[in-house]
A and B are shown apart, each in its own frame.
Chain A
Amino acid sequence: MFIQLNNLTVHINRLPMLTIDQMGLPPSGIYAILGPSGCGKSSLLTLLSGLHDPALSYSGDLIEHTHTPVRYAMVWQKPTVFPCSIFDNLWVAYRSTLTAQPNRLHPSNWSRFIKRQHRGSLYRALETVGLDQELGHGWAERHADTLSGGQKQRLCIAMGLLKQADVLLLDEPTSSLDPIATQKIEETLRALSKKHLIVLVTHSIGQAKRLADLATVICHCTERNLSYACETGLASDVLNRPKTLSCKAFIEAETG
Protein backbone atom coordinates (compact mmCIF):
# COMPACT_ATOMS: atom_id res chain seq x y z
CA MET A 1 0.00 0.00 0.00
CA PHE A 2 1.03 3.56 -0.72
CA ILE A 3 -0.56 5.29 2.25
CA GLN A 4 -1.66 3.40 5.34
CA LEU A 5 -4.06 4.59 8.05
CA ASN A 6 -4.01 2.50 11.24
CA ASN A 7 -6.20 3.12 14.29
CA LEU A 8 -6.65 6.70 13.19
CA THR A 9 -8.96 9.05 15.08
CA VAL A 10 -9.76 12.45 13.62
CA HIS A 11 -10.45 15.14 16.21
CA ILE A 12 -12.34 18.39 15.60
CA ASN A 13 -11.71 20.96 18.31
CA ARG A 14 -10.08 18.16 20.35
CA LEU A 15 -13.25 16.05 20.27
CA PRO A 16 -13.09 12.67 18.47
CA MET A 17 -15.18 12.74 15.31
CA LEU A 18 -14.13 9.84 13.11
CA THR A 19 -12.29 6.59 13.73
CA ILE A 20 -10.71 4.36 11.12
CA ASP A 21 -9.29 0.99 12.14
CA GLN A 22 -7.48 0.31 8.93
CA MET A 23 -7.43 1.87 5.49
CA GLY A 24 -4.85 1.32 2.76
CA LEU A 25 -4.59 3.60 -0.25
CA PRO A 26 -2.90 2.15 -3.36
CA PRO A 27 -0.48 4.16 -5.57
CA SER A 28 -3.04 4.54 -8.35
CA GLY A 29 -6.73 4.06 -8.99
CA ILE A 30 -9.84 5.64 -7.56
CA TYR A 31 -10.67 5.31 -3.87
CA ALA A 32 -14.19 6.42 -2.97
CA ILE A 33 -15.17 7.57 0.50
CA LEU A 34 -18.89 7.63 1.15
CA GLY A 35 -20.95 8.56 4.15
CA PRO A 36 -23.70 10.81 5.48
CA SER A 37 -23.23 14.59 5.71
CA GLY A 38 -21.19 15.73 8.68
CA CYS A 39 -19.53 12.36 9.29
CA GLY A 40 -16.03 13.76 8.72
CA LYS A 41 -15.28 12.84 5.09
CA SER A 42 -14.04 16.33 4.18
CA SER A 43 -12.06 16.55 7.43
CA LEU A 44 -10.35 13.29 6.52
CA LEU A 45 -9.42 14.73 3.12
CA THR A 46 -8.07 17.91 4.74
CA LEU A 47 -6.05 15.79 7.13
CA LEU A 48 -4.64 13.68 4.30
CA SER A 49 -3.72 16.77 2.29
CA GLY A 50 -1.70 18.13 5.20
CA LEU A 51 -3.44 21.51 5.01
CA HIS A 52 -3.17 23.43 8.23
CA ASP A 53 -6.47 23.68 10.07
CA PRO A 54 -6.20 24.78 13.71
CA ALA A 55 -9.40 22.91 14.62
CA LEU A 56 -8.23 19.61 13.13
CA SER A 57 -5.93 17.03 14.74
CA TYR A 58 -5.48 13.27 14.77
CA SER A 59 -4.14 10.38 16.79
CA GLY A 60 -2.96 7.04 15.40
CA ASP A 61 -0.80 6.22 12.41
CA LEU A 62 -0.79 7.87 9.01
CA ILE A 63 2.11 6.24 7.18
CA GLU A 64 3.38 7.06 3.69
CA HIS A 65 5.36 4.16 2.19
CA THR A 66 7.46 6.32 -0.12
CA HIS A 67 11.02 7.62 -0.29
CA THR A 68 9.92 11.19 -1.01
CA PRO A 69 7.01 13.01 0.62
CA VAL A 70 3.70 12.44 -1.15
CA ARG A 71 2.38 15.50 -2.99
CA TYR A 72 -1.33 16.19 -2.68
CA ALA A 73 -3.69 18.47 -4.58
CA MET A 74 -7.15 19.27 -3.36
CA VAL A 75 -10.18 20.01 -5.54
CA TRP A 76 -13.10 21.45 -3.62
CA GLN A 77 -16.83 21.04 -3.98
CA LYS A 78 -17.52 24.54 -5.32
CA PRO A 79 -16.12 25.13 -8.81
CA THR A 80 -13.82 28.05 -8.03
CA VAL A 81 -10.99 29.51 -10.05
CA PHE A 82 -8.91 32.62 -9.57
CA PRO A 83 -10.35 35.72 -11.30
CA CYS A 84 -7.61 35.98 -13.91
CA SER A 85 -6.73 34.33 -17.22
CA ILE A 86 -6.65 30.56 -17.64
CA PHE A 87 -2.91 30.83 -18.23
CA ASP A 88 -2.34 32.60 -14.91
CA ASN A 89 -4.50 30.06 -13.07
CA LEU A 90 -2.38 27.24 -14.43
CA TRP A 91 0.83 29.19 -13.91
CA VAL A 92 0.23 29.82 -10.22
CA ALA A 93 -0.12 26.06 -9.70
CA TYR A 94 2.90 25.29 -11.88
CA ARG A 95 5.26 27.85 -10.35
CA SER A 96 5.52 25.81 -7.12
CA THR A 97 7.33 23.11 -9.08
CA LEU A 98 9.97 25.48 -10.46
CA THR A 99 12.34 24.82 -7.60
CA ALA A 100 15.40 25.04 -9.80
CA GLN A 101 15.06 28.81 -10.02
CA PRO A 102 16.83 30.65 -7.22
CA ASN A 103 13.98 32.88 -6.22
CA ARG A 104 10.65 31.94 -7.65
CA LEU A 105 8.89 34.75 -5.79
CA HIS A 106 10.95 37.37 -7.59
CA PRO A 107 8.91 39.42 -10.06
CA SER A 108 11.34 38.56 -12.87
CA ASN A 109 10.06 34.98 -12.70
CA TRP A 110 6.62 36.29 -13.58
CA SER A 111 7.87 37.84 -16.75
CA ARG A 112 6.34 36.97 -20.09
CA PHE A 113 9.58 35.34 -21.20
CA ILE A 114 9.63 32.79 -18.39
CA LYS A 115 5.92 32.16 -18.78
CA ARG A 116 6.27 31.57 -22.53
CA GLN A 117 8.95 28.95 -21.90
CA HIS A 118 6.52 26.84 -19.89
CA ARG A 119 3.45 27.36 -22.06
CA GLY A 120 3.75 23.82 -23.47
CA SER A 121 3.61 22.21 -20.02
CA LEU A 122 0.50 24.17 -19.15
CA TYR A 123 -1.17 23.18 -22.43
CA ARG A 124 -0.40 19.50 -21.82
CA ALA A 125 -2.26 19.71 -18.50
CA LEU A 126 -5.28 21.12 -20.35
CA GLU A 127 -5.04 18.25 -22.85
CA THR A 128 -5.02 15.72 -20.02
CA VAL A 129 -8.31 17.01 -18.65
CA GLY A 130 -9.80 17.38 -22.13
CA LEU A 131 -10.12 21.16 -22.14
CA ASP A 132 -7.77 21.83 -25.07
CA GLN A 133 -10.35 21.16 -27.79
CA GLU A 134 -13.15 22.98 -25.96
CA LEU A 135 -11.14 26.16 -25.36
CA GLY A 136 -9.44 26.40 -28.75
CA HIS A 137 -6.56 28.71 -29.67
CA GLY A 138 -7.24 31.66 -27.40
CA TRP A 139 -7.18 29.57 -24.21
CA ALA A 140 -4.30 31.38 -22.54
CA GLU A 141 -5.84 34.84 -22.56
CA ARG A 142 -9.40 33.76 -21.86
CA HIS A 143 -10.68 34.80 -18.41
CA ALA A 144 -11.25 31.78 -16.19
CA ASP A 145 -14.53 33.21 -14.87
CA THR A 146 -16.07 32.73 -18.33
CA LEU A 147 -15.80 28.92 -18.04
CA SER A 148 -18.76 26.72 -17.11
CA GLY A 149 -18.88 24.95 -13.74
CA GLY A 150 -17.65 21.65 -15.18
CA GLN A 151 -14.85 23.35 -17.10
CA LYS A 152 -13.78 25.17 -13.93
CA GLN A 153 -13.60 21.87 -12.03
CA ARG A 154 -11.50 20.34 -14.80
CA LEU A 155 -9.27 23.42 -14.75
CA CYS A 156 -8.84 22.85 -10.99
CA ILE A 157 -7.87 19.24 -11.69
CA ALA A 158 -5.38 20.48 -14.31
CA MET A 159 -3.94 22.84 -11.70
CA GLY A 160 -3.53 19.90 -9.34
CA LEU A 161 -1.73 17.93 -12.05
CA LEU A 162 0.62 20.85 -12.74
CA LYS A 163 1.55 20.75 -9.08
CA GLN A 164 2.87 17.28 -9.94
CA ALA A 165 0.60 15.82 -7.31
CA ASP A 166 0.76 12.08 -6.64
CA VAL A 167 -2.65 12.10 -5.01
CA LEU A 168 -5.70 14.08 -6.12
CA LEU A 169 -8.19 14.64 -3.31
CA LEU A 170 -11.64 15.51 -4.61
CA ASP A 171 -14.35 16.67 -2.26
CA GLU A 172 -17.67 16.04 -4.01
CA PRO A 173 -16.40 17.56 -7.27
CA THR A 174 -19.59 16.98 -9.27
CA SER A 175 -22.24 17.80 -6.66
CA SER A 176 -23.12 21.15 -8.27
CA LEU A 177 -22.78 20.08 -11.90
CA ASP A 178 -25.21 18.89 -14.58
CA PRO A 179 -25.06 15.27 -15.87
CA ILE A 180 -23.05 16.14 -19.01
CA ALA A 181 -20.38 18.02 -17.05
CA THR A 182 -20.37 15.18 -14.48
CA GLN A 183 -19.80 12.66 -17.25
CA LYS A 184 -16.84 14.63 -18.61
CA ILE A 185 -15.27 14.88 -15.16
CA GLU A 186 -15.76 11.16 -14.62
CA GLU A 187 -14.05 10.42 -17.96
CA THR A 188 -11.16 12.67 -16.92
CA LEU A 189 -10.86 10.95 -13.54
CA ARG A 190 -10.93 7.50 -15.11
CA ALA A 191 -8.09 8.47 -17.45
CA LEU A 192 -6.06 10.04 -14.64
CA SER A 193 -6.51 7.07 -12.31
CA LYS A 194 -4.08 5.01 -14.41
CA LYS A 195 -1.18 7.13 -13.16
CA HIS A 196 -2.49 8.88 -10.04
CA LEU A 197 -4.29 7.96 -6.89
CA ILE A 198 -7.63 9.75 -6.73
CA VAL A 199 -9.45 9.92 -3.42
CA LEU A 200 -13.03 10.81 -4.18
CA VAL A 201 -15.50 11.91 -1.54
CA THR A 202 -19.00 11.52 -2.92
CA HIS A 203 -22.62 11.14 -1.91
CA SER A 204 -23.51 9.39 -5.12
CA ILE A 205 -23.47 5.60 -4.81
CA GLY A 206 -23.94 5.42 -8.59
CA GLN A 207 -20.82 7.52 -9.20
CA ALA A 208 -18.80 5.43 -6.76
CA LYS A 209 -19.95 2.23 -8.49
CA ARG A 210 -19.07 3.65 -11.92
CA LEU A 211 -15.64 4.93 -10.96
CA ALA A 212 -14.15 3.46 -7.81
CA ASP A 213 -11.80 0.52 -7.51
CA LEU A 214 -11.83 0.60 -3.71
CA ALA A 215 -14.30 2.16 -1.31
CA THR A 216 -14.85 2.97 2.33
CA VAL A 217 -18.28 3.66 3.77
CA ILE A 218 -18.38 5.81 6.88
CA CYS A 219 -21.34 5.45 9.23
CA HIS A 220 -22.39 7.49 12.23
CA CYS A 221 -23.03 6.03 15.68
CA THR A 222 -25.56 8.35 17.36
CA GLU A 223 -25.11 6.75 20.82
CA ARG A 224 -21.38 7.53 20.90
CA ASN A 225 -21.72 10.60 18.66
CA LEU A 226 -18.84 9.25 16.63
CA SER A 227 -18.39 8.29 12.99
CA TYR A 228 -16.46 5.19 12.01
CA ALA A 229 -15.33 3.41 8.86
CA CYS A 230 -17.85 0.59 8.87
CA GLU A 231 -16.80 -1.17 5.69
CA THR A 232 -13.71 -1.04 3.49
CA GLY A 233 -12.73 -3.09 0.45
CA LEU A 234 -13.31 -3.51 -3.27
CA ALA A 235 -15.94 -1.03 -4.40
CA SER A 236 -17.94 -3.73 -6.17
CA ASP A 237 -18.15 -5.76 -2.94
CA VAL A 238 -18.75 -2.93 -0.51
CA LEU A 239 -21.38 -1.14 -2.58
CA ASN A 240 -23.19 -4.17 -4.05
CA ARG A 241 -22.93 -6.66 -1.19
CA PRO A 242 -22.50 -4.75 2.08
CA LYS A 243 -21.84 -6.98 5.08
CA THR A 244 -22.77 -4.73 7.97
CA LEU A 245 -26.30 -3.55 8.71
CA SER A 246 -25.35 0.14 9.04
CA CYS A 247 -23.54 0.12 5.69
CA LYS A 248 -26.49 -1.62 4.08
CA ALA A 249 -28.89 0.92 5.58
CA PHE A 250 -26.79 3.84 4.29
CA ILE A 251 -26.58 2.43 0.75
CA GLU A 252 -30.30 1.66 0.66
CA ALA A 253 -31.13 5.16 1.93
CA GLU A 254 -28.90 6.78 -0.72
CA THR A 255 -30.15 4.67 -3.60
CA GLY A 256 -33.77 4.89 -2.46
Chain B
Amino acid sequence: MKPVLLYLYIGLTIVLISALWPESFQLNHTPIALWVSTAIVTLCATFAALLPAYLSAAVVTGFYHAPLFQRCALLILYLLAGMPSIIIGVAGFITFSYGLGLGWSMLSAILTLVFLLAPTLATAFIQLLNQAHSDHYALARGLDMSRTYFLFIWLPTLKKEALVDTLLLGWSRALGDTAAIMLTCGAVMATPTSLLDPVRLINYHIYLLAMEVPGGFTEAQSIALLQIIMIALLFIPRWLLQKREPCLSN
Protein backbone atom coordinates (compact mmCIF):
# COMPACT_ATOMS: atom_id res chain seq x y z
CA MET B 1 0.00 0.00 0.00
CA LYS B 2 2.63 2.52 1.09
CA PRO B 3 4.99 1.97 -1.92
CA VAL B 4 2.04 2.52 -4.29
CA LEU B 5 1.10 5.77 -2.56
CA LEU B 6 4.74 6.86 -2.59
CA TYR B 7 4.97 6.08 -6.30
CA LEU B 8 1.80 8.08 -7.02
CA TYR B 9 3.04 10.94 -4.84
CA ILE B 10 6.42 11.12 -6.61
CA GLY B 11 4.70 10.96 -10.01
CA LEU B 12 2.28 13.74 -9.14
CA THR B 13 5.10 15.91 -7.76
CA ILE B 14 7.12 15.56 -10.99
CA VAL B 15 4.04 16.36 -13.06
CA LEU B 16 3.25 19.45 -11.01
CA ILE B 17 6.83 20.77 -11.01
CA SER B 18 7.26 20.23 -14.74
CA ALA B 19 3.88 21.76 -15.50
CA LEU B 20 4.49 24.84 -13.37
CA TRP B 21 8.10 25.60 -14.32
CA PRO B 22 8.83 23.92 -17.68
CA GLU B 23 11.43 26.45 -18.78
CA SER B 24 13.51 26.00 -15.64
CA PHE B 25 13.88 22.33 -16.29
CA GLN B 26 14.48 22.61 -20.07
CA LEU B 27 11.80 20.00 -20.68
CA ASN B 28 10.33 21.26 -23.91
CA HIS B 29 11.04 19.19 -27.06
CA THR B 30 11.97 16.21 -24.91
CA PRO B 31 10.15 12.92 -24.26
CA ILE B 32 9.45 14.20 -20.74
CA ALA B 33 7.05 16.79 -22.23
CA LEU B 34 5.07 13.93 -23.79
CA TRP B 35 5.18 11.97 -20.54
CA VAL B 36 3.94 14.93 -18.50
CA SER B 37 1.03 15.55 -20.90
CA THR B 38 0.08 11.88 -20.81
CA ALA B 39 0.26 11.80 -17.01
CA ILE B 40 -1.88 14.93 -16.62
CA VAL B 41 -4.54 13.72 -19.08
CA THR B 42 -4.75 10.20 -17.69
CA LEU B 43 -4.65 11.13 -14.00
CA CYS B 44 -7.20 13.94 -14.39
CA ALA B 45 -9.53 11.62 -16.33
CA THR B 46 -9.15 8.81 -13.78
CA PHE B 47 -9.87 11.04 -10.80
CA ALA B 48 -12.75 12.77 -12.60
CA ALA B 49 -14.33 9.40 -13.42
CA LEU B 50 -13.96 8.02 -9.88
CA LEU B 51 -16.84 9.79 -8.17
CA PRO B 52 -19.51 9.32 -10.87
CA ALA B 53 -18.46 5.69 -11.21
CA TYR B 54 -18.64 5.14 -7.43
CA LEU B 55 -22.03 6.84 -7.16
CA SER B 56 -23.45 4.88 -10.11
CA ALA B 57 -22.18 1.65 -8.53
CA ALA B 58 -23.82 2.66 -5.22
CA VAL B 59 -27.14 3.21 -7.00
CA VAL B 60 -26.88 -0.03 -8.98
CA THR B 61 -26.06 -2.09 -5.86
CA GLY B 62 -29.07 -0.67 -4.03
CA PHE B 63 -27.38 1.59 -1.49
CA TYR B 64 -29.60 4.40 -2.75
CA HIS B 65 -33.25 3.64 -3.38
CA ALA B 66 -33.94 5.21 -6.79
CA PRO B 67 -35.46 2.54 -9.06
CA LEU B 68 -35.74 4.76 -12.17
CA PHE B 69 -32.20 6.08 -11.82
CA GLN B 70 -30.99 2.54 -11.13
CA ARG B 71 -32.50 1.28 -14.41
CA CYS B 72 -31.01 4.21 -16.35
CA ALA B 73 -27.59 3.71 -14.71
CA LEU B 74 -27.67 -0.01 -15.56
CA LEU B 75 -28.60 0.67 -19.19
CA ILE B 76 -25.87 3.29 -19.63
CA LEU B 77 -23.34 1.12 -17.83
CA TYR B 78 -23.96 -1.97 -19.96
CA LEU B 79 -23.95 0.03 -23.16
CA LEU B 80 -20.78 1.93 -22.33
CA ALA B 81 -18.95 -1.07 -20.82
CA GLY B 82 -19.53 -3.08 -23.98
CA MET B 83 -18.48 -0.33 -26.38
CA PRO B 84 -15.04 -0.59 -27.94
CA SER B 85 -12.86 2.35 -26.96
CA ILE B 86 -12.70 3.53 -30.56
CA ILE B 87 -16.49 4.13 -30.58
CA ILE B 88 -16.28 6.20 -27.41
CA GLY B 89 -13.33 8.04 -28.97
CA VAL B 90 -15.42 8.84 -32.03
CA ALA B 91 -18.32 10.02 -29.88
CA GLY B 92 -15.89 12.10 -27.80
CA PHE B 93 -14.31 13.58 -30.88
CA ILE B 94 -17.69 14.52 -32.36
CA THR B 95 -19.03 15.91 -29.07
CA PHE B 96 -16.07 17.64 -27.48
CA SER B 97 -13.50 18.34 -30.20
CA TYR B 98 -15.91 19.13 -33.00
CA GLY B 99 -19.26 19.93 -31.31
CA LEU B 100 -18.03 22.02 -28.38
CA GLY B 101 -15.07 23.33 -30.34
CA LEU B 102 -12.41 22.18 -27.89
CA GLY B 103 -10.28 20.80 -30.72
CA TRP B 104 -7.27 18.56 -30.05
CA SER B 105 -7.01 19.84 -26.53
CA MET B 106 -6.17 18.15 -23.26
CA LEU B 107 -9.63 19.06 -21.99
CA SER B 108 -11.44 17.24 -24.79
CA ALA B 109 -9.12 14.26 -24.27
CA ILE B 110 -9.87 14.21 -20.54
CA LEU B 111 -13.64 14.43 -21.09
CA THR B 112 -13.55 11.60 -23.63
CA LEU B 113 -11.46 9.45 -21.33
CA VAL B 114 -13.91 10.02 -18.46
CA PHE B 115 -16.64 8.35 -20.55
CA LEU B 116 -14.23 5.58 -21.44
CA LEU B 117 -13.12 4.92 -17.88
CA ALA B 118 -16.35 5.41 -15.92
CA PRO B 119 -17.90 2.03 -16.93
CA THR B 120 -14.65 0.16 -16.23
CA LEU B 121 -14.36 1.75 -12.80
CA ALA B 122 -18.09 1.36 -12.10
CA THR B 123 -17.92 -2.38 -12.88
CA ALA B 124 -15.03 -2.78 -10.43
CA PHE B 125 -16.87 -0.73 -7.80
CA ILE B 126 -20.07 -2.76 -8.26
CA GLN B 127 -18.19 -5.94 -7.34
CA LEU B 128 -16.70 -4.22 -4.30
CA LEU B 129 -20.02 -2.73 -3.14
CA ASN B 130 -22.00 -5.93 -3.77
CA GLN B 131 -19.70 -7.76 -1.40
CA ALA B 132 -19.87 -4.93 1.13
CA HIS B 133 -23.65 -4.80 0.85
CA SER B 134 -24.14 -8.44 1.71
CA ASP B 135 -21.45 -8.69 4.38
CA HIS B 136 -20.89 -5.41 6.11
CA TYR B 137 -23.73 -3.00 5.45
CA ALA B 138 -26.17 -4.81 7.76
CA LEU B 139 -23.59 -4.67 10.54
CA ALA B 140 -22.99 -0.97 9.89
CA ARG B 141 -26.74 -0.29 9.95
CA GLY B 142 -27.03 -2.16 13.22
CA LEU B 143 -24.46 0.27 14.64
CA ASP B 144 -26.44 3.30 13.42
CA MET B 145 -23.80 4.15 10.84
CA SER B 146 -25.21 6.40 8.16
CA ARG B 147 -25.12 5.32 4.52
CA THR B 148 -22.95 8.29 3.53
CA TYR B 149 -20.47 7.62 6.32
CA PHE B 150 -20.34 3.94 5.39
CA LEU B 151 -19.88 4.59 1.66
CA PHE B 152 -17.49 7.51 1.73
CA ILE B 153 -15.47 7.10 4.92
CA TRP B 154 -15.73 3.66 6.47
CA LEU B 155 -15.71 1.47 3.36
CA PRO B 156 -12.73 3.27 1.74
CA THR B 157 -10.90 2.81 5.05
CA LEU B 158 -11.68 -0.91 5.07
CA LYS B 159 -11.03 -1.53 1.40
CA LYS B 160 -7.99 0.62 0.72
CA GLU B 161 -6.26 -2.05 -1.34
CA ALA B 162 -9.30 -2.71 -3.54
CA LEU B 163 -9.76 1.01 -4.15
CA VAL B 164 -6.12 1.50 -5.11
CA ASP B 165 -6.38 -1.52 -7.43
CA THR B 166 -9.43 0.03 -9.10
CA LEU B 167 -7.65 3.35 -9.41
CA LEU B 168 -4.63 1.71 -11.03
CA LEU B 169 -6.90 -0.32 -13.33
CA GLY B 170 -8.55 2.89 -14.54
CA TRP B 171 -5.24 4.67 -14.92
CA SER B 172 -3.70 1.83 -16.90
CA ARG B 173 -6.68 1.73 -19.25
CA ALA B 174 -6.39 5.50 -19.70
CA LEU B 175 -2.67 5.13 -20.41
CA GLY B 176 -3.43 2.45 -22.98
CA ASP B 177 -5.77 4.78 -24.81
CA THR B 178 -3.36 7.71 -24.79
CA ALA B 179 -0.30 5.78 -25.88
CA ALA B 180 -0.55 7.54 -29.20
CA ILE B 181 0.58 10.72 -27.56
CA MET B 182 3.93 9.15 -26.83
CA LEU B 183 4.23 6.96 -29.92
CA THR B 184 2.83 8.72 -32.93
CA CYS B 185 1.83 12.24 -32.28
CA GLY B 186 3.88 15.30 -32.80
CA ALA B 187 1.18 17.48 -31.28
CA VAL B 188 2.94 17.70 -27.91
CA MET B 189 6.09 19.72 -28.27
CA ALA B 190 6.17 21.42 -24.90
CA THR B 191 5.11 20.66 -21.37
CA PRO B 192 1.52 21.83 -21.06
CA THR B 193 0.67 25.10 -19.41
CA SER B 194 -3.08 25.00 -20.00
CA LEU B 195 -5.84 22.43 -20.39
CA LEU B 196 -6.39 23.71 -23.92
CA ASP B 197 -2.85 22.76 -25.01
CA PRO B 198 -2.84 20.15 -27.77
CA VAL B 199 -2.66 16.38 -27.27
CA ARG B 200 -4.10 13.52 -29.29
CA LEU B 201 -5.84 10.35 -28.08
CA ILE B 202 -5.23 7.06 -29.88
CA ASN B 203 -8.93 6.67 -30.64
CA TYR B 204 -9.11 10.17 -32.16
CA HIS B 205 -6.21 9.13 -34.32
CA ILE B 206 -7.94 5.95 -35.46
CA TYR B 207 -11.09 7.92 -36.14
CA LEU B 208 -9.20 10.17 -38.54
CA LEU B 209 -7.71 7.16 -40.31
CA ALA B 210 -11.16 5.59 -40.54
CA MET B 211 -12.53 8.68 -42.23
CA GLU B 212 -10.21 8.17 -45.21
CA VAL B 213 -12.70 6.05 -47.20
CA PRO B 214 -13.79 6.36 -50.84
CA GLY B 215 -16.87 8.53 -51.03
CA GLY B 216 -15.63 11.14 -48.62
CA PHE B 217 -16.31 12.33 -45.12
CA THR B 218 -20.14 12.09 -45.21
CA GLU B 219 -20.13 8.44 -46.24
CA ALA B 220 -17.54 7.60 -43.59
CA GLN B 221 -19.63 9.31 -40.93
CA SER B 222 -22.78 7.41 -41.92
CA ILE B 223 -20.85 4.10 -41.79
CA ALA B 224 -19.53 5.02 -38.33
CA LEU B 225 -23.04 5.90 -37.15
CA LEU B 226 -24.38 2.57 -38.44
CA GLN B 227 -21.60 0.76 -36.57
CA ILE B 228 -22.50 2.55 -33.35
CA ILE B 229 -26.17 1.62 -33.73
CA MET B 230 -25.29 -2.02 -34.49
CA ILE B 231 -23.08 -2.29 -31.42
CA ALA B 232 -25.77 -0.68 -29.28
CA LEU B 233 -28.32 -3.20 -30.61
CA LEU B 234 -25.97 -6.07 -29.81
CA PHE B 235 -25.92 -5.10 -26.15
CA ILE B 236 -29.67 -4.76 -25.67
CA PRO B 237 -30.25 -8.56 -25.23
CA ARG B 238 -27.42 -8.67 -22.71
CA TRP B 239 -28.93 -5.77 -20.79
CA LEU B 240 -32.37 -7.40 -20.83
CA LEU B 241 -30.92 -10.63 -19.44
CA GLN B 242 -29.08 -8.74 -16.71
CA LYS B 243 -32.30 -6.93 -15.86
CA ARG B 244 -34.12 -10.26 -15.44
CA GLU B 245 -31.46 -11.77 -13.17
CA PRO B 246 -32.90 -10.53 -9.84
CA CYS B 247 -36.29 -12.12 -10.69
CA LEU B 248 -34.59 -15.43 -11.50
CA SER B 249 -32.65 -15.43 -8.25
CA ASN B 250 -35.87 -14.88 -6.30
B143 lies within 8 A of A93 (CB): yes
What is the CB-to-nearest-CB distance from A28 to chain B, in angstroms, rounded to a whole number?
Answer: 20
Query: In whole angstroms, how far apart are the Cα atoms of A93 and B157 in the complex?
Result: 15
Whether B145 sits at the interface, judged by CB under 8 Å, is yes
B136 sits at the interface (CB 8 A): yes
Asked if B136 contacts A75 (CB within 8 A), the reply is no
Q: When A83-B158, A105-B149 are in contact, do A159 and B136 touch as well, CB less than 8 Å?
A: no
Which of A74, A80, A92, A159 is B154 in contact with, Cβ under 8 Å?
Answer: A92
Question: B144 contacts which of A80, A84, A96 (Cβ < 8 Å)?
Answer: A96
Cβ-closest chain B residue relative to A55: B65
Q: What is the chain A residue whose CB lies nearest that of B148?
A: A105
- Whether B139 lies near A76 (C-beta < 8 A) is yes
Across the interface, which residues of A come within 8 angstroms of B65, CB to CB? Answer: 54
Give the interface centre of B65, B144, B153 by most chain A CB atoms within 10 Å: B144
**Closest A residue by C-beta to B147:** A52
Q: Mark B48-69, 1 if CB is under 8 A from A, else 0.
A: 0000000000000000010000
B142 touches A92 (CB 8 A): no
Q: Which residue of A lies closest to B65 (CB)?
A: A54
Query: What residue in chain B is nearest A75 (Cβ atoms)?
Result: B142
Known: A84-B158, A92-B154, A105-B149. A163 touches B143 (CB 8 A): yes
Provided the pairs A92-B145, A96-B144, A105-B153 are in contact, do residues A76 and B138 lie with their beta carbons within 8 angstroms? yes
Q: A54-B65, A105-B153 are in contact. Are A96 and B143 (CB under 8 A)?
A: yes
Bound Cα distance from A159 to B141, whole angstroms: 12
Instruction: Determine the chain B residues whose CB is within 8 A of the CB of A73 once the complex forms.
Output: 142-143
A164 to B141, CA, bound (A): 15
> CB-CB < 8 A to B245: which residues of A?
none
CB proximity of A12 to chain B, nearest CB, Å = 14
Name the residue on B nearest A74 (C-beta): B142
Q: Mark A151-167, 1 if CB is under 8 A from B, else 0.
A: 00000100110010000
> Quick one: CB contact mask for A66-83 with B, threshold 8 Å, 1 for yes?
000000011110001111
Q: How far is A74 from B136 in the complex, measured between Cα atoms in Å?
A: 13
Query: Is A191 in the interface zone, CB < 8 Å from B?
Result: no
A82 adjacent to B158 (CB under 8 Å): yes
What 14 additional pairs, Cβ within 8 angstroms, besides A74-B138, A74-B142, A84-B158? Answer: A51-B142, A54-B65, A73-B143, A75-B142, A76-B142, A80-B135, A80-B138, A82-B139, A92-B143, A92-B154, A93-B143, A105-B149, A160-B143, A163-B143
Give the 6 A-B residue pairs with the shortest CB-CB distance, closest first: A74-B142, A54-B65, A93-B143, A80-B139, A51-B141, A76-B138
6 A-B pairs with C-beta separation under 8 A: A82-B154, A93-B143, A96-B143, A105-B153, A160-B142, A163-B143
